[in-house]
A and B are shown apart, each in its own frame.
Chain A
């Protein structure tokens, strides 16, 4: 049977690529913490990586926007962004496991599936540190963190626990890593752009790390707006945490990096 061996969560921001030096010492600490989490996951020898990330209008536009989409393709193409400074290429998928997961999730969720998903920085800034050779098969799970109404935070966590059950019901002895990518507080396309809500970020990390997550899961859509339009990406953290389980959650880094406009955190899972 397949098993989830571990994972991590990490913020992503275009600044990681295009303004690395501007992030200063905090950026160095974030990149080091992400590299450590990625190295730790690589040492667990995953056969497949499931990466949960918010949609950035890469695949879907506002008039057609599923809540959860599972990439079931043989391969996924990316990155779409020229500023990622890498050639667009194919990344191996894991179609059999992806389809199995989608079928199992249909019991309690209604995921969409796509065999032609495009990948952007959200997925790849987390994937590449784990496997610089870019060879480990990937199952992207794209979540709606942009277009309201959004899936409640509690449902996102429950999606993770359902994801774990789905993986564990697969007959092949696959070792699966799970990554949650996105957040923490940041504002996109508003005059608040550049504001980082450290109070929210630290509260979120402490709640998730300690396991005292009910107050966190009860945060409403309107409340979360106060931490920024981009803060809704923490949904991917909750899904990954729900999938990996409660064995170990350690926030190894938090840096409010103003040059990247984002509260940047890393949490190791499992």
Chain B
């Protein structure tokens, strides 16, 4: 598990990957992994969306990263960890 202090640079790098792919379409992300700490480095370099999710990367960044590397939606969604919901019952269901 990446230390909490390592999540900000990891997420910033994924943001940069998203913006880069806006310009060029799906990209090879290996070079973007340089300088990142493990295990985030490997997760980025191998475009492992599920591993990034387990490291706490924001869901919206995960989607952006997945599309940036050319992944198709059904391929990675099922591998993502469940979202932790609060225990309160939402009032529209009461």
**Which chain A residues have a beta carbon within 8 Å of chain B's beta carbons?**
56-57, 61-63, 80-82, 146-147, 187-194, 199-200, 203-204, 215, 218-220, 222-227, 229
Contacts and interface: CB of A to CB of B under 8 A. Distances in A.
A199 B15 CA distance: 33
A6 B42 CA distance: 51
Given A57-B61, A61-B11, A225-B85, 6 more contacts: A56-B64, A57-B15, A57-B58, A62-B12, A191-B83, A229-B60
B79 to A, nearest CB: 8
A190 B63 CA distance: 9
A204 B83 CA distance: 22
Interface in B18-73: 18-19, 22-23, 25, 53, 58-64, 73
A189 B62 contact: yes
Contacts of A61: 11-12, 15
A204 B58 CA distance: 26
Nearest to B11: A62
A80 B77 CA distance: 24
Contacts of B23: 82
Contacts of A223: 86, 88, 90-91
Nearest to A55: B60
A226 B85 contact: yes
Contacts of B12: 61-63
A192 B86 contact: no
A225 B86 contact: yes
B90 A56 contact: no
A200 B90 contact: yes
A5 B80 CA distance: 45
A228 B88 CA distance: 14
Given A62-B61, A190-B59, A215-B91, A222 B86 contact: yes
B13 to A, nearest CB: 9
Nearest to A221: B86
16 contacts: A56-B60, A61-B12, A80-B22, A146-B60, A187-B59, A188-B60, A189-B58, A189-B60, A191-B80, A193-B80, A199-B93, A222-B85, A222-B86, A223-B86, A223-B90, A226-B86
